[in-house]
Amino acid sequence: MSAGFFFFLCFVVVGLIIWGVKVRQDDEVAKINAMSPDDRLTYLFGPRNEHLVCPHCQTKGLVHAKSIVEAVTSTGTVGGILKTNTESTTMVASIQHHCAKCSTTWKV
């Protein structure tokens, strides 16, 4: 098997993977667009909490909330000196809120 054929085969496999991801994304977008506005907000931002007040527009009952986990990367410092080669990534859990009235999203 020649090197040219191997590179061609790798190119075809990568192309098929990218095409598969694109098809899945299109299906997801079509599913979200077919939802009602309230169902879309619940799907994207979690269920509505009737007791929460939006700190931006002061509206009560239109705030959606869901738990999220995200990777946070930080660069370490030693004795006040920035060490650029010390980088750590940690997973941080927080709660994401979204107001349906003013469309503001924030984390707590």
Residue 11: what pLDDT? 75
Question: Is residue 56 domain-shared with residue 100, that is, in the same domain?
Answer: yes
Residue 85: what pLDDT? 63
Question: Is residue 52 domain-shared with residue 90, that is, in the same domain?
Answer: yes
Query: Bridge-partner residues for 71, per DSSP?
Result: 91
First-last CA distance in the chain = 56
Residue 78: what pLDDT? 59
Residue 74: what pLDDT? 73
DSSP, collapsed to helix, strand or coil, labels residue 24 as helix
- pTM here? 0.61
Q: What are phi and psi of 21, to 5 degrees?
A: -65, -40
Residue 42: both structure tokens together: 């619940």
Quick one: average pLDDT of 59-63?
Answer: 93
Domain that holds residue 96: 38-108
Question: Is residue 44 domain-shared with residue 66, that is, in the same domain?
Answer: yes
Question: Is residue 65 domain-shared with residue 47, that is, in the same domain?
Answer: yes
Mean residue pLDDT of the chain comes to 83
18 pLDDT tier (thresholds 50, 70, 90): confident
Quick one: three-class SS letters along 27-95? HHHHHHHCCCHHHHHHHHHCCEECCCECCCCCCECCEEEEEEEEEEEEEEEECCEEEEEEEEEEEEEEE
Quick one: average pLDDT of 31-39?
Answer: 86
Question: Is residue 62 domain-shared with residue 96, that is, in the same domain?
Answer: yes
Statement: residue 50 has pLDDT above 80: yes
Bigger pLDDT: 32 vs 82: 32
